[in-house]
Structure 1
Amino acid sequence: MDHLTIRAADWPHTIPRKDAMPLRRDPTLRQRRLGAEMRKMREQAGLGGSQLARGLGLNPTQVTQMETGRIGVSADRLRTVAAACDCGNTPLINALADMAVERGKGWWEDYRGVLSTDFLEVAEVEGHAQKLYTCTTTYIPGLLQTSDYASAVFSRATPLPTRQDIALRTEFRMRRQQVLHSQKVPYLAFVHEAALRMQFGGSEILAEQLAALIQASETPGISVRVMPFSTDTFPGSSENLTFAEGVTPELDTVQMDVAHAVQFFDSPAHLASYRAVFARLDSNALPEDGSRELIRSIMKEVVNRYA
């Protein structure tokens, strides 16, 4: 009899049948992440799904459903799985246990079925972040956009959204900014000079957006750093990125905007790679004062050129 079966026999009370939960049709990103972290635990322990299932007195389907977020997991079961996988990372286990007992719905759930899942999942990541970093090359970061600028950005989408769709997406983007207004989540935005000059909606809207960006950069907890054209290297220059720090480093998340979609990455290799990207951005970007100076100069150019 293998060691896992022996250990499971010592814990008959940790896998109660009464804690079985109904299948979820559409697990949220956070629910899927909890399952994915459980899968990582199992894989790092060198256990197959069937082997873990036998050791815990479950069937393999239940393990698969837990690891894909299709069924809920109690904090007790999470800790039992962690013990069976010899996971000694206490901060991670505690953070996952807290995730397992989350029951409240975020404000973004009000838009489920109205907006695409991508919109909701971006807000979900931001809503649970401990700190946020962004890197943009083509537009001002969404969390710092004015309403008019956001509407202009959405109006450039292909296929062209209806006025109602543009209004709804803009409303959602403005609500996302609550995460910064609370001043509970530090935010660092790296903005390429190209994004400061790109016009969405015309010169007046751009000038107002740049003024708002300067004001935001002076708000406690918000830092705006500009990458000027003169910089000879710009890591991640083809991507608009967000790096969301979790409660523990293992729960960090990278969001990348791609054509017609949003992608999320959380593997150790991806996280390490993008930590390096943001470290290089921090080394090459202008300081805050220098960034504000450049933004002001561009704003004056826009006002004078189109006055």
Structure 2
Amino acid sequence: MWGSRLRVIRNERCELPLERAAKLAGWHGSKLSRTERGLRPVSIQDFATLVTAWGLPAKERDAILTELATGASSGWWDRPIPGVPEDVGTLAGYEAEAVELVAVAVAVVPGLLHTYETAVAAMAANGLTRRDIELGWIARLRRQQILGKVDFSVYVTEAALRTHWGGKDAHHAQLAHLLRCMEIGTAGIRVIPHQQTGALLLHTWHWMRFRHTPPVVYVELATGATYIHEADHYTAILDRLDQVALPKDGSRTLIRRLMEGG
């Protein structure tokens, strides 16, 4: 998240191209690029070094550093779980800083709403070993601690809801969990019906809005993930999904019907 804020300061406040900004701070351009994209950690000291080298006014710089220091309490993502991919911790760090999350799920419900059985079945289908599945579930549980602390919305395809990940009983339990999340307000869930043609969805992704920086999109891939910092295209897709998805009441009715075998 700090990387995204650095990128905004470099582009909008200091008006520096990446290579020039890196040279001023004595960094390689590739290092700064990875930092801004959230692919390497950045300390307050790094942040201070960069914005000072870029000539950010001292008053503005000190205010930002004070704010970062105040909110710099370490989370579990700063102490990675051995065996869990680094990008999982990076995602959790972004989620912890976000004020709004929107998950768009194509093949399976979002990980933040998984039950254990659904998570195990989905990770097994992706070829993970039993050990990696258990480690992945631990990380997923820790990510789920954000629920109730952030505005979280979900668009999930009807096909994902109809798929019996883990078998019939696991499917029933997963649908019941979704209804509970809707009832207690931890997630606003809307179903994307089979027949819609208003929004083309090719993969699962996660749109995140922050207090001081533009939205960032996390895109899940078969072999990892990527972060997109130019999120306008995905923001426009959300606008289209808002038009084609069932309303919350209609989504709740469909989920109940699926639980009953409909």
Q: TM-score range by the shorter chain?
A: 0.7 to 0.9
Name the CA shift for 1:48/1:297 in 2 (closer, same or farther; >3 Å).
closer
Aligned match for 2:254, one of 288, 291, 294 = 294
Q: Does 1:239 find its partner at 2:203?
A: yes
Helix, strand or coil at the partner of 1:233: coil
Alpha-carbon distance between aligned partners in 1 of 2:89 and 2:214, rounded to the nearest angstrom: 18
In the TM superposition, 1:199-214 aligns within 5 A as 199-214=164-179
Aligned partner of 2:73: which letter? G
Aligned match for 1:218, one of 176, 183, 190 = 183
Alpha-carbon distance between aligned partners in 1 of 2:219 and 2:207, rounded to the nearest angstrom: 9
Contact 1:42/1:52 (<8 A) preserved: no
Alpha-carbon distance between aligned partners in 1 of 2:132 and 2:237, rounded to the nearest angstrom: 34
CA deviations over 1:55-89 (Å, ceiling 9, x no partner):
xxx6x44898666547745576566456x368xxx
Helix, strand or coil at the partner of 1:150: helix
Alpha-carbon distance between aligned partners in 2 of 1:253 and 1:50, rounded to the nearest angstrom: 22
Q: Does 1:282 find its partner at 2:242?
A: yes
Q: Does 1:123 find its partner at 2:123?
A: no
- When the two structures are superposed, what TM-score results if normalisation uses the length of structure 2? 0.82
Q: Does 1:173 find its partner at 2:140?
A: yes
Q: Does 1:139 find its partner at 2:90?
A: no
How far did 1:218 drift? Answer: 1.4
Aligned match for 1:264, one of 227, 239, 242 = 227
How far did 1:297 drift? Answer: 1.1
Q: Does 1:186 find its partner at 2:135?
A: no
Helix, strand or coil at the partner of 1:254: strand
Aligned partner of 1:252: which letter? P
Helix, strand or coil at the partner of 2:227: strand
Structure 2 residue aligned with 1:252: 215
Name the CA shift for 1:263/1:68 in 2 (closer, same or farther; >3 Å).
closer
Report which of the two structures shows the higher radius of gyration computed on alpha carbons: 1
CA deviations over 1:191-230 (Å, ceiling 9, x no partner):
1101101221111101110111111111224200001112
Aligned partner of 2:202: which letter? S
Aligned partner of 2:102: which letter? Y
Contact 1:35/1:66 (<8 A) preserved: no
Q: Which piece of structure 1 moves more, 36-45 or 275-284?
A: 36-45
Aligned match for 2:117, one of 121, 142, 148 = 148
- When the two structures are superposed, what TM-score results if normalisation uses the length of structure 1? 0.71
Alpha-carbon distance between aligned partners in 2 of 1:202 and 1:65, rounded to the nearest angstrom: 45
Contact 2:18/2:33 (<8 A) preserved: no
Aligned partner of 1:165: which letter? D
Helix, strand or coil at the partner of 2:139: helix
Alpha-carbon distance between aligned partners in 2 of 1:244 and 1:71, rounded to the nearest angstrom: 19
Contact 1:199/1:206 (<8 A) preserved: yes
Structure 1: 5+ residue stretches without partners = 1-29, 303-307
Alpha-carbon distance between aligned partners in 1 of 2:176 and 2:42, rounded to the nearest angstrom: 47
Alpha-carbon distance between aligned partners in 1 of 2:22 and 2:82, rounded to the nearest angstrom: 38
Alpha-carbon distance between aligned partners in 2 of 1:254 and 1:156, rounded to the nearest angstrom: 24
How far did 1:38 drift? Answer: 4.3
CA deviations over 1:106-149 (Å, ceiling 9, x no partner):
11233344311121112111111111001111001111111111
- Percent identity reads 27
In the TM superposition, 1:39-78 aligns within 5 A as 39-41=10-12, 44-45=15-16, 49=20, 53=24, 60-61=26-27, 69=35, 72-74=43-45
Alpha-carbon distance between aligned partners in 2 of 1:93 and 1:283, rounded to the nearest angstrom: 44
The count of corresponding residues between Structure 1 and Structure 2 is 255
